Amino acid sequence: MGLTRSQARRLLILESLPQALLAAAGGILTGWATIHLLSPGIDLTTIALSTSPATPGAAELRTSPTSLALPATLVVLVTVGVAGVQAWWSGRRGSVTELRAGDAR
């Protein structure tokens, strides 16, 4: 395609970013919505506390920004890492020899 190796790597990584960012945003939104929709109907006091709680509502189901952002960040990092490895591997194979028509191997 007329790209240098570094340009081809960047192109492969940039092509994978939109899907990864959408997946990360969808995961955060789904996790947040699940917690907020289920929290009124789930009582965690029997699971979290062996004795009766001193204050009502001591064991609530709440969202944590870290627990939502960490998996989303890992999705993006794994996707970019896989795209980088794919770009490195395809650069090693040498597409110049594959593009020559009529050469016998």
Reported pTM: 0.64
% of residues, the chain, pLDDT over 90:
20
Per-residue pLDDT tens over the stretch 11-62: 888 888 899 999 999 999 998 898 888 877 776 666 666 565 555 555 667 7
- The three-state DSSP-derived secondary structure of the chain is CCCCHHHHHHHHHHHHHHHHHHHHHHHHHHHHHHHHHHHHHCCCHHHHCCCCCCCCCCCCCCCCHHHHHHHHHHHHHHHHHHHHHHHHHHHHHCHHHHHCCCCCC
